[in-house]
Amino acid sequence: MFKPIELTRSAVESCEHAIRKRILSGQLAVGDVLPPERQLAEMFGLNRLTIRSALSRLSVRGLVTVRQGSGYRVEDFRVTGGPDLLDGLFGLVMTRPKRLEMIADLLRIRRCIARAILEAIASKPDYDGSDVDEAIEEFAQLVENHAEIDAIAVGDMAVIRALIDSSQRTVFSLFLNPITTTVTQLSDLRYAIYKDPQKNLTGYRVLQYWLKAPVVDAIEPLVMELALRDEATLRQLEQMVSP
């Protein structure tokens, strides 16, 4: 079932990654019971403390549960897991249509959270968008200086972070964090989003205008503009992954 692992990261992380991959891919089915810690340690070539730490992380992620006398049992991550599993799912080998479907869902959820953030901002009578303005201007400098896509992506994340912070809604941040992290880690998606960063900047200029007088009635056009950009991103991806 398991083989000794190559330590490309810390021993605990490597062990967690190896087991997590098998659970997310279905190699370990819901209800399967993992071998005892001692046996896992022998299989992986690691000590029991490392195995126990990795299993603890998997338990926190909702991938396994431990029961006294019966060991670690694989759970249905679709029921017990959270957004932090996204990066692991995208790391699996999957068909092109399935991957595009997952990316489309990822972008759709991002739009839903964006709408909620804008609604929260519009509900604040004393809203101060100075931090967002500053982040947008820094992003504009990156675009005007023709920065590399990786730098553009970092600048974009800074704008999003400033926007979330200004809404003062911690829950939105906790849900959006793993989504934005996954977006920036997928190289083809990152390229498709920031292929023409001037369009991203144009969208932020519209957002700046709205932030001067944030009203709920004007949110829908902003979200629709984001939806159009996401559709363009998906079309770009389809061209990139087509045979």
Summarised one tens digit per residue, pLDDT across range 97-112 is 999 999 999 999 999 9
In total, how many domains does the chain have?
Answer: 2
Spatial separation of the C-alpha atoms in residues 35 and 71, rounded to whole Å: 8
Model confidence at 8: pLDDT above 80: no
- Among 23, 91, 15, which Cα is nearest to 55's? 15
For residues 39 and 139, membership in a common domain is answered with no
Q: How confident is the model at residue 136 (pLDDT cuts 50, 70, 90)?
A: very high
Model confidence at 127: pLDDT above 90: no
Summarised one tens digit per residue, pLDDT across range 184-230 is 889 999 999 999 999 999 999 999 999 999 999 999 999 999 999 99
- Could you tell me if residue 1 is inside a domain? no
pLDDT at 7: 52
Summarised one tens digit per residue, pLDDT across range 47-92 is 999 999 999 999 999 999 988 777 899 999 999 998 889 988 988 8
**Burial group, residue 45, by CB count within 10 angstroms (0-12, 13-18, 19+):** middle
**Structure tokens that stand for 225 in this block:** 């503009």
pTM: 0.84
For residues 220 and 139, membership in a common domain is answered with yes
**Structure tokens that stand for 91 in this block:** 């790391």
Q: What angle do CA 149, 150, 152 make, to 5 degrees?
A: 60
- Could you tell me if residue 43 is inside a domain? yes
Phi, psi of 71 (to 5 degrees): 80, -160
pLDDT at 226: 93
* Mean pLDDT, the chain, integer: 90
- Could you tell me if residue 46 is inside a domain? yes
Residue 22's domain comprises 11-81
**Structure tokens that stand for 58 in this block:** 């998997």
For residues 22 and 108, membership in a common domain is answered with no
